[in-house]
Chain A
Amino acid sequence: MATVPPASTVAGHGPQRQRPSGALISVAGAAGFTKPDRELARTVSIVGVGDSDYAADYRASRAAGPGYVPPDDLSLATIAFERAVADSGLRREDVDGLNTCFMYAPADVGEVCSTLGIHPRYALAEGNIMDDVIPPAVVALASGRCDTIALLYAAAPRAATKRVYGGTTYTDDRGTPVSYYYFTPWGWSSQAAHWAFIFRNYQNVFGATEADLGSIAVALRTHAQRNENAIMRAPLTIDDYLESRYIVRPLHLFDMCLVNNGAVCLILRRTDASTGLPHVPVEVAGWGHAKVSADKMRNLVVERLRPQFDEAGREAFAMAGLSRSDVGLFQGYDASSIHLVDQIEGYGFTDPGTGLEFCQDGQLDLGGSLPTNTSGGMLSEAYMHGWNHVVEAVRQLRHEAGERQVTDVTTSMSSVATTDSAHPLLLTRGG
């Protein structure tokens, strides 16, 4: 596939998204995202999940001596694929659909298929962060283009030999330079700077302190301690947080997501073909999309994407026939701690300005009203661009999350939130 110049506003550490070119998206809605459709609610289920060894790979990469070669995208993806196939109870030959989503190097679909030993009739490499990957797969399955699709994500930033981020030329789909590149003459750079502006304004408006914000990192680290595959599991206190170095003041190290190599594979089938498999199917119940169209900085720093979370959340709930009170697990895009707060408040789980108090009250904990990022999220488990959030939601909805299981959970909302768009996804326990 063609390499598209890195663009847009993905949270995190560079090389940026490629907007899908459209072949997969037959029912494109706003900004090219797959339109929610009530007819498609629960017609497709996630039947297999697999992920790589985030923690072990991270330790190996940190301890690397001379000659150490970190695993590349394809080798990580192969591990995730094999695990997802085994998890699904299906045979490799059953996989007749593939969307390869490699973040830091374009995937050669032919090479991927031959490595995995599959011969899909429907194969593409148009995926990206977990913003609009599952909805087009639902469309492909519902329209009979394939019967079993593997969505295969890999990110190997620590294996990348060439750093492609930095510079001033990256543009979004309107040809406008992405903000943090545009503002480099003022020394403004990196996604982290967006989050810092947001939190400083949040402090100005609501009077929050750094220690208040630290409660997010601490809550997610507590979750990660119950996840053996989480990269960061050492106990973290508010004092540790406050003593940690600043990256972009007022944000500390622990407000920023990790950077690691890893892969995730999800296997989806039509729900009516998902019975008799080893695990309870997890149904794709609803999704929504909303994107800022103008005045991005104000929408991000001042509005904190509230209009977008509200609009996209309504779409998702309407498609699923559910309401906010049905959500028993939230898996939000924690590129930064404050952006997770933006989502919790933006979708209406708590009022604007009360998100940190909500966290300090224990509402994000396993026994709280909104258990959140229960595997540790991108702050403490792994930075898998929202893909790991879906894996955790599936494990929770199957009631297979072990010591971090949310009791009797049947509905999750996962959410990808960039600096200018919102992408909620509702999953429900099937069977």
Chain B
Amino acid sequence: MPERRPNRTLGGVHDEFWRFCDQRELRLQQCGNCATFVWPPVEKCEQCGDAGLEWQPVAGTGALMSWATFDYPYHRELPLPWDTILVELEEGPLFVSNPLGFTRDDMEPMMPVSVDFLECEDDAGPFLLPVFRRRPL
């Protein structure tokens, strides 16, 4: 049973991101000019303005930079309290996500994590959502 989630932002470059997720692949745009990885998706590189962005597979590993738990119901689809995490990906970008298989009580600064994909659905249909599990050292 897929988890119901608030709607994704779709269209254009955003669809491309989610298509890779559906293949259980985490890819981010990388600038062909300055090599910067960008997240969330953009039309032009934020650093140098170049439009030559390529979807590159990333390692899917990173470290727990920060976290926050919602105790106020901003989204009626989601149970409270609701944990969110900020993962620093090895390629640089900070990625907002959810923990899978652990909770706020387990979190430690710079804890290693790796990506997994969770079956979800929104108004646009089923999709795979990148979330993060604890990664043994």
- Residues on A facing B (Cβ under 8 Å): 168-169, 174-177, 179, 181-190, 192-193, 196-198, 200-201, 204-205, 245-250, 293-295, 297-298, 301-302
Q: B77 to nearest A CB, angstroms?
A: 8
Q: A169 to nearest B CB, angstroms?
A: 8
With A177-B9, A185-B5 in contact, is A193–B65 under 8 Å at CB? no
CA distance A187 to B79 in the complex (A): 10
With A176-B40, A177-B40, A295-B46 in contact, is A187–B75 under 8 Å at CB? yes
Q: Is the CB of B84 within 8 A of A187?
A: yes
With A174-B42, A297-B94 in contact, is A184–B75 under 8 Å at CB? yes
Q: Is the CB of B68 within 8 A of A187?
A: no
Choose from B5, B47, B81, B120 the contact partner of A249 (Cβ within 8 Å): B81
- Residues on B facing A (Cβ under 8 Å): 5-9, 36, 40, 42-43, 46-47, 65-72, 74-75, 78, 81-82, 84, 86, 93-94, 96-98, 104, 109-110, 120, 122, 129, 131
Q: Is the CB of B71 within 8 A of A168?
A: no
Q: B51 to nearest A CB, angstroms?
A: 13
User: Which residues of chain A are near B65, meaning CB under 8 Å?
Assistant: 201, 301-302
CA distance A162 to B96 in the complex (A): 30
Q: B46 to nearest A CB, angstroms?
A: 3
CA distance A249 to B40 in the complex (A): 24
User: Which residues of chain A are near B70, meaning CB under 8 Å?
Assistant: 187, 189, 193, 248-249
Name the residue of chain B whose CB is nearest to the CB of A246: B71
Q: Is the CB of A186 within 8 A of B86?
A: no
User: Which residues of chain A are near B96, meaning CB under 8 Å?
Assistant: 179, 183, 186, 188, 297
CA distance A204 to B86 in the complex (A): 13
In the complex, the number of residue pairs spanning A and B with C-beta atoms less than 8 Å apart equals 113
Q: Is the CB of A247 within 8 A of B71?
A: yes
CA distance A157 to B98 in the complex (A): 31
User: Which residues of chain A are near B82, meaning CB under 8 Å?
Assistant: 187
CA distance A372 to B47 in the complex (A): 36
CA distance A190 to B36 in the complex (A): 28
Q: Is the CB of A186 within 8 A of B98?
A: yes
User: Which residues of chain B are near A196, meaning CB under 8 Å?
Assistant: 68-69
CA distance A188 to B86 in the complex (A): 10
User: Which residues of chain B are near A193, meaning CB under 8 Å?
Assistant: 68, 70, 84
Q: A420 to nearest B CB, angstroms?
A: 12
CA distance A133 to B5 in the complex (A): 39
Given contacts A246-B69, A294-B46, 20 further A-B contacts (CB under 8 A): A174-B42, A184-B6, A186-B97, A186-B131, A187-B70, A187-B98, A189-B75, A190-B74, A193-B68, A197-B67, A197-B68, A201-B86, A248-B68, A249-B81, A249-B104, A250-B68, A297-B93, A297-B94, A301-B94, A302-B65
Q: Is the CB of B94 within 8 A of A248?
A: no
Instruction: Write 16 A-B pairs (CB below 8 A) sorted by A numbering.
Output: A174-B42, A177-B40, A182-B40, A184-B9, A186-B5, A186-B97, A186-B131, A189-B6, A193-B70, A196-B68, A197-B68, A247-B72, A293-B46, A294-B36, A295-B46, A295-B93
CA distance A232 to B94 in the complex (A): 37
User: Which residues of chain B are near A190, meaning CB under 8 Å?
Assistant: 74
Name the residue of chain B whose CB is nearest to the CB of A294: B46
CA distance A182 to B66 in the complex (A): 18
CA distance A246 to B131 in the complex (A): 24
Name the residue of chain A whose CB is nearest to the CB of B10: A168
Q: Is the CB of B74 within 8 A of A189?
A: yes
Q: B76 to nearest A CB, angstroms?
A: 11
User: Which residues of chain B are near A184, meaning CB under 8 Å?
Assistant: 5-9, 75
Q: A429 to nearest B CB, angstroms?
A: 42
Q: B100 to nearest A CB, angstroms?
A: 11
CA distance A248 to B70 in the complex (A): 4
Choose from A168, A192, A204, A205 the contact partner of B8 (Cβ within 8 Å): A168
Name the residue of chain A whose CB is nearest to the CB of B77: A187
With A247-B71, A302-B65 in contact, is A185–B86 under 8 Å at CB? no
CA distance A431 to B93 in the complex (A): 52
User: Which residues of chain B are near A183, meaning CB under 8 Å?
Assistant: 84, 96
Q: A306 to nearest B CB, angstroms?
A: 16
CA distance A293 to B137 in the complex (A): 35
Q: Is the CB of B66 within 8 A of A249?
A: no
Q: A13 to nearest B CB, angstroms?
A: 11
CA distance A169 to B67 in the complex (A): 25
CA distance A193 to B84 in the complex (A): 9
User: Which residues of chain B are near A298, meaning CB under 8 Å?
Assistant: 93-94
